[in-house]
Structure 1
């Protein structure tokens, strides 16, 4: 898969991944208990009932992905100090996007002193650094930017992750998602890769550890398994760790690489940290498909991205 050459310009693939990520994020947010209790969510997801409320706001997943995309657009690569500054500025402009506790500690400091990420990120969680899913949730547009170059996507994803996630598992989650999006983007205009082989390609570039181990389990989960059963095995993000989030989201993407809508219904069925799992899945699939085939009602209800995204 990595040697495919039929692909669009890289910035186009990255924008598509960003648009898909935002749609998944906003769609997934609809299934939290704040909006509907779990039994109602399960019923409506399995019946494929689209949430009627509008607008669907996106969360910190999209806010941080926008910062990654902006830095890539300006610099063409991950400039870590510029990314820290972008994260801090976005947080200061709108801190109510659902950021986790660690980011509420870190990002205000980065807004004032971006280079301080080198020490402050390592101070989180009693000096372990974050092993959460926050670096993975924003990584699909980065991977699509480096379409077809999985090795470079992995390297750049690690640079991106390190700004907020010092723990190796937090970095590994971002690497896995970026590689998946790079491979998906490279397959545009060609037949979809087989799901198991797709995941095995991602596995080859994912650093050793819990994320990789669970991703290896995902390679063996059949595509006809009910998504909620796959989530029971692989995790659904409920523990908000990269290892508990990324494998299921990428399994769902891998078995629905030609249908953004099917991929999102599949991922939503796992519930858990459903905005983040849906953001990862949709960002990966949209790196291949764009928004083609997405329900126009969903796109209408989703909160718009900033105008500059379409101008980049």
Structure 2
């Protein structure tokens, strides 16, 4: 299937997701460091910024869309497992180690995902963290973006809340991409529109709470109300990440600064926010120092990002994983 004419939006979303993932992960630090002071002073973390499982799975999903133009969940599950087997050291969640190992060993993906957590399936944020480029791919049809996001989520996550989180992020990216060239949507209206695609879910309820927060709500207050991924669940990750993205739809770097200030699961919240905002803005406004610090996107993903400047020499800093 040929690429749709709006594939460049998906390209941009993928690069924003990777930037957000690597930027956010760089803020997991050694014990005793006062990162909040550094964040308040807008001081960057030392390079290199490595991307995590958020990006690794987004690369696989993007390559899958490039090959097929749609999601084929069985094939996608096997592709996730193959990438995991190639490079399992990307901070995959505990349940995903088991899921991807079992699928890679040949077990049926529906059986594996459905057996997680006593048969309810995982409600983690892993399906949401990788899906923004899919939403941008289907930017002219948010209903189709939602349908394809459901399929992509079920390849690894059977719980309805995990699926709802993926749908919400994909729809947000589709709407953000479709708004390019026009005034940015109002945050509250944007969040309510996204929530309309995930009725009857805690993710949707969280989005409606996020939409009702006063415009001047500081990021730490929003994180305390919505959650910021401390529980690694879709319902305590997606509402905050989309609240943050929706408030900075014209400014990718500021969106990432704001998002990381919620702390929590900061690589994933920043990956989600970065993927959504970049679907609208691209990554042209990202400072050169950020581009040089961020680990490059692998060529097999199907997307070559803008050329990155050579990184300056940096002292080695060991981070807690």
What TM-score, normalized to structure 1? 0.94
Q: Is 2:53 the partner of 1:57?
A: no
Q: CA deviation at 1:9?
A: 3.0
Find out whether 1:305 has 2:301 as its counterpart: no
The equivalent of 1:131 in structure 2 is 123
Partner Cα distance (2:93, 2:262) in 1: 21
- Matching of residue 44 in structure 1 with residue 38 in structure 2: yes
Q: In 2, distance between residues paired with 1:38 and 1:202?
A: 39
1:257 maps onto 2:249 in alignment: yes
Contact 2:297 2:304 in 1 (8 A): no
What per-residue deviation string (whole Å, max 9, x for no partner) do you get for residues 32-82 of structure 1? 1xx24476111111111111x221100000000111101100000001122
Return the offset for 1:307: 1.7
**Cα distance in 1 between the residues matched to 2:32 and 2:148:** 37
- Residues 221-268 of structure 1, C-alpha deviation per residue, up to 9 Å, x if partnerless? 123211111000100100001000000000000000000001000001
- Could you tell me whether the CA contact under 8 Å between 2:252 and 2:281 is conserved in 1? yes
> Displacement of 1:149 after TM fit?
1.1
Q: Which residue of 1 aligns with 2:11?
A: 15
Counterparts of 2:22 and 2:97, CA distance in 1: 21
The residue correspondences of 1:1-312 to structure 2 (distance < 5 A) are 9-32=5-28, 35-37=29-31, 40-51=34-45, 53-113=46-106, 116-308=108-300, 309-310=302-303
Matched with 2:309 is none
How many residue pairs get aligned? The number is 301
CA gap of 1:311–1:50, structure 2 versus 1, over 3 A, is closer
Q: Which runs of 5+ in 1 are unaligned?
A: 1-7
Deviations 1:156-191 (A, max 9, x none): 000000111100000000000000000000011111
Give deviations 1:68-112, integer Å, cap 9, x for gaps: 101100000001122011101110000000001111101012223
- Gaps of at least 5 residues in structure 2 are 306-321
User: Match of 1:310, SS?
Assistant: coil
